[in-house]
Amino acid sequence: MLQTRITELFGIKHPVIQGGMQWVGFAGLVSAVSNAGALGILTALSQPTPEDLVKEIEKTRGMTDQPFGVNLTILPTINPPPYEEYAQAIVGSGVKIVETAGRSPEPFMELFKEYDVKVIHKCTSVRHALKAQAVGVDAITIDGFECAGHPGEDDIPSLVLLPQAVEALDIPVAGCGGFSDGKSLVAALALGGEAIVMGTRFMATKEAGVHQNVKDKMKEADELSTNLMFRTMHNTARVFKNSVSNEVVEIESTGEATFEDVKDLVAGQRGRVVFEEGDLEHGIWSAGISVARVKDIPTCEEMVSRLVADAKNIIDDRLQSVKAS
Ligand SMILES: Cc1cc2nc3c(=O)[nH]c(=O)nc-3n(C[C@H](O)[C@H](O)[C@H](O)COP(=O)(O)O)c2cc1C
């Protein structure tokens, strides 16, 4: 058993967490992850309304008796979703684990603490992690430059960011961004991390509700298969390299592009069609550099048990033999 403060905090068997994923984090995947002894996380905003989120939570409960959480991504958008209502739906449903992301969870902490919810906040810098610790979150996910989605603007990879965060914070820290297997779990533990959070690797599993074409494409990918877009708008996003993200990067390369110029290309609904219909060039879809490490599409149970077994073998055998020689 690999036990850390994070396995204890969430009551999970393995120090492995599936990060929230828009249009991917539904009951089927989340329950499979939790049944595998890791922590599955539903994505609140993948549900059209807070009422739908309540139903998805109930559905998940019908599929696992293991702990699972809900991701609440609080992004400053022009037409923000009713975040407060989603938060109420989470606590009202009796969910006890929340992953916050996007911006400081401070406005929601009183509510979460009132309902005895454990909060793990995901951020991309030590300064934001310190702020989150100060407002009372229970753990931090520190998201390195390798990650799918929003890596921030500092461009610090997990190899440096994770130990920096661990040394600066008192609360437990999970490494995130670039993790995919037993080797990287051991690396995270060696760097002082107490769990890994993965998105890309969990998307490439049998239970992830994305089209088979997407999973097959991920298997073919290498370490050059992602694009960074929105760099010029200081809102960087790491996405899979395809004709649409190439076009966005090209438009941005003029140095004068505004969001209006790329708005239609990056529409969330177009990305959703990629996942649902498997038309890989229909829109933008998130993927991290760890997509290079996707070699197969296992079940969550197969993937998590292999990952943990590999990690234990590395600790017990490989590292011991290095020490002996
Ligand atoms: C398809 C996809 C959608 C994602 N959507 C969200 C999201 O809505 N909110 C969020 O906090 N993180 C989101 N993420 C980021 C993951 O939770 C996680 O932080 C990231 O994938 C870690 O890096 P990795 O892909 O190298 O494992 C998404 C990731 C993927 C692959």
Nearest partner of 203 among 75, 64, 26, judged by Cα: 26
* Domain extent listing, the chain: 5-210
73: Cβ below 6 Å to ligand 1? yes
Q: What is the pTM of this model?
A: 0.98
**Residue 151 pLDDT more than 70?**
yes
Write the burial class of residue 145 (CB in 10 Å: 0-12 exposed, 13-18 middle, 19+ buried). Answer: buried
Give the per-residue pLDDT at 77.
Answer: 79
Give the per-residue pLDDT at 1.
Answer: 87
74: Cβ below 6 Å to ligand 1? no
Give the per-residue pLDDT at 78.
Answer: 78
**Which tokens go with 128?**
């934001």
Q: What DSSP line would sit under 115-133, residue for residue?
A: TT-EEEEEESSHHHHHHHH
19: Cβ below 6 Å to ligand 1? yes
Query: What is the number of the ligand 1 atom nearest to the C-alpha of 180?
Result: 27
CB atoms within 10 A of CB 124: 26
Q: Was domain 5-210 assigned CATH 3.40.50.880?
A: no
> Could you tell me which residues come within 8 angstroms of residue 160 by beta carbon, excluding any fewer than 6 positions away?
none
**Residue 324 pLDDT more than 80?**
no
Give the per-residue pLDDT at 315.
Answer: 97
Give the per-residue pLDDT at 323.
Answer: 87
Q: Which of 18, 245, 286 is the best mutation target for the ligand 1 pocket, counting ligand atoms within 8 Å of the beta carbon and taking the most?
A: 286
175: Cβ below 6 Å to ligand 1? no
Q: Which residues pair with 228 in a beta bridge?
A: 238
Give the per-residue pLDDT at 325.
Answer: 65
| pLDDT, tens digit (0-9, with 9 covering 90-100), for 285-297 | 999 999 999 999 9
- Please state the rounded mean pLDDT for residues 190-207: 98
146: Cβ below 6 Å to ligand 1? yes
Distance (Å, rounded) from C-alpha 178 to C-alpha 199?
9
pLDDT range class, residue 97, cuts 50, 70, 90: very high
288: Cβ below 6 Å to ligand 1? yes
Average pLDDT, whole number, for the chain? 97
